Structure 1
């Protein structure tokens, strides 16, 4: 696939000044890698993440897909997220490796049940409509937003980096965050964790320990944390879902008001 790539046991890094990579990033993600980032000087930004379906349900992911900007594919035991932003007038990021290091933490957040990265990708995909009038058909004005996760007003560093990479505007994010409840303290209490684990069937605990001994410790941790948080998270009423037009129009008004001020 390449004679110039820097390849290690865990990475494949390539930079082209002429021509293009001959391999298929989607195939590489399906078979080998958990994260992929691509940046081109003509304005393309693309980031992909692979997660086990056991920790990120493909049906949940589907709710946050939006055209070519936010898509996903389930392959075997994994789901691969594919997030893209196009902007011909955008500035080129000349150090994509640093970008991936800043963003990649959202993969672990998704595995632990934090859906904010998915919502950010959905919002950024429709936000591209403000730059490219052909990004979506007019019928998309009436598309409803997916479930709004809590904590959009207090993004993690990785989520902020993802939003920037996908060119999600601050005004659109601020409007979306108005319907996002505050993120409660998500530090996992050791006593609560111990109580939850104590109710797991003994046979299941045995199977989990065997998987840890076989080298699946990190994956077992992600699966269990996702289950624990799903079982113990407080149920809060869902806000009324807004349309794409509601969000974009409100962001435009906010931006106009700020320019007048």
Structure 2
């Protein structure tokens, strides 16, 4: 199996300094590097840097995947926007880990394929697909964290020798609102982490409606005007100097909290066990399979009706059909040959239904004798089973 690895980093809150750029360039001679972006693909060898340290010191987002199934997404944001305690309930081994460093919370979403299947290059990802998750988390939307926990449960269900009591005693973390209607980046994250869609559907049953993301501009203006002058001065100074993260997400989160209440999941809501969720997912999966089978049966019946109607119309004027076949063959072209063969197969079925297979065999024999000098046509007839009986 050939090797493939993809590394991408992005700086969002501030660009890298000249010295930091030199530090990063020393890690790779082939990467595309700018003050805000690093991307490289490896078909052999490995990245010489330490992703964890680079995220702690320089970057705000990192994406990695390899064709043997490893996937990783790391996000960094100030603890002032998302405290570590808010992320802690969602952490699960090998799915989501978190730590803090110098006023920042770092989130590490990961997935390790159990079967070692090769990467599907037609569904490759870039960091741009995930970058909005950082702003969503900063605004208090914890759905990405819950998705990571569901990914862990998806994998846990597949493990062998797990005590059933563990499933019963393990409770889900607080359920964020809006799981039934994920944002685009959140759905991409669910796909990236291989969250079982039936498990997600089951989990969403305990999830309320997500607060509207629409912004009432007049209400926002009035709220900003009411902020203390010294706070507004501080925000503007930090934004001008680039010494703090962009204030937009934090301000919007505060405004939404005032207008709509906290977006944080309710700690008082009943928390389901892993066993309950897996049982519910099984029910969803069973119902989904039943509906699919029902839809396929309906499609087959519709196709059969259409087929019967087509043969009925053909039976009304078989002589015209034989004339059409002669006309198509007379064009001496591959496309018309194929159409003629299809029509002949339909006529064979029409004659079989009418109890006159001998008539079809006779006319087919005459046709083959008449056009035996056309090898392309003869080959098509033979391949379709249109031979003398």
Question: Where does residue 228 of structure 2 map in the other structure?
Answer: 201
Question: Contact 1:50–1:81 (CA<8 Å) still a contact in 2?
Answer: yes
Give the Cα–Cα distance (whole angstroms) in 1 for the partners of residues 57 and 231 of structure 2. 28
Q: How does 1:13-162 map to 2 (within 5 A)?
A: 13-89=39-115, 90-94=117-121, 98-133=125-160, 139=166, 141-162=168-189
| DSSP-derived class of the 1:18 partner | coil
Give the Cα–Cα distance (whole angstroms) in 1 for the partners of residues 79 and 164 of structure 2. 31
Give the Cα–Cα distance (whole angstroms) in 2 for the partners of residues 119 and 223 of structure 1. 21
Give the Cα–Cα distance (whole angstroms) in 2 for the partners of residues 91 and 85 of structure 1. 14
Query: 5+ residue gaps in structure 2?
Result: 1-26, 292-389
Deviations 1:68-105, CA, capped at 9 Å, x for gaps:
21111111111110001122434514378743221221
Question: Contact 2:201–2:284 (CA<8 Å) still a contact in 1?
Answer: no
| DSSP-derived class of the 1:15 partner | strand
Deviations 1:199-255, CA, capped at 9 Å, x for gaps:
322221221222222236862112212222233323696531111121122112322
Question: Where does residue 19 of structure 2 map in the other structure?
Answer: none
Deviations 1:82-140, CA, capped at 9 Å, x for gaps:
00112243451437874322122111111121111111111112211133347999635
Give the Cα–Cα distance (whole angstroms) in 2 for the partners of residues 129 and 61 of structure 1. 20
Give the Cα–Cα distance (whole angstroms) in 2 for the partners of residues 98 and 146 of structure 1. 28
TM-score of the superposed pair, with normalisation by structure 2 = 0.62
Question: Contact 1:113–1:229 (CA<8 Å) still a contact in 2?
Answer: no
Give the Cα–Cα distance (whole angstroms) in 2 for the partners of residues 252 and 156 of structure 1. 25
Question: Where does residue 258 of structure 1 map in the other structure?
Answer: 288
Cα distance change on mapping 1:141 and 1:82 into 2, 3 Å? farther
Deviations 1:41-60, CA, capped at 9 Å, x for gaps:
11111111111111111110
Question: Where does residue 272 of structure 2 map in the other structure?
Answer: 242
Cα distance change on mapping 1:102 and 1:233 into 2, 3 Å? same
| Larger RCO (CA within 8 A; separation ≥ 6) | 1
Give the Cα–Cα distance (whole angstroms) in 1 for the partners of residues 122 and 35 of structure 2. 21
Cα distance change on mapping 1:212 and 1:21 into 2, 3 Å? closer
Question: Where does residue 249 of structure 2 map in the other structure?
Answer: 222
Question: Contact 2:76–2:105 (CA<8 Å) still a contact in 1?
Answer: yes
Question: Contact 1:129–1:136 (CA<8 Å) still a contact in 2?
Answer: no
* Bigger Rg, which one: 2
Which of 189, 194, 203 is 1:167 aligned to?
194
TM-score of the superposed pair, with normalisation by structure 1 = 0.89
Give the Cα–Cα distance (whole angstroms) in 2 for the partners of residues 81 and 136 of structure 1. 29
Q: For this pair of structures, how many residues does the alignment match?
A: 261
Question: Contact 1:52–1:78 (CA<8 Å) still a contact in 2?
Answer: yes
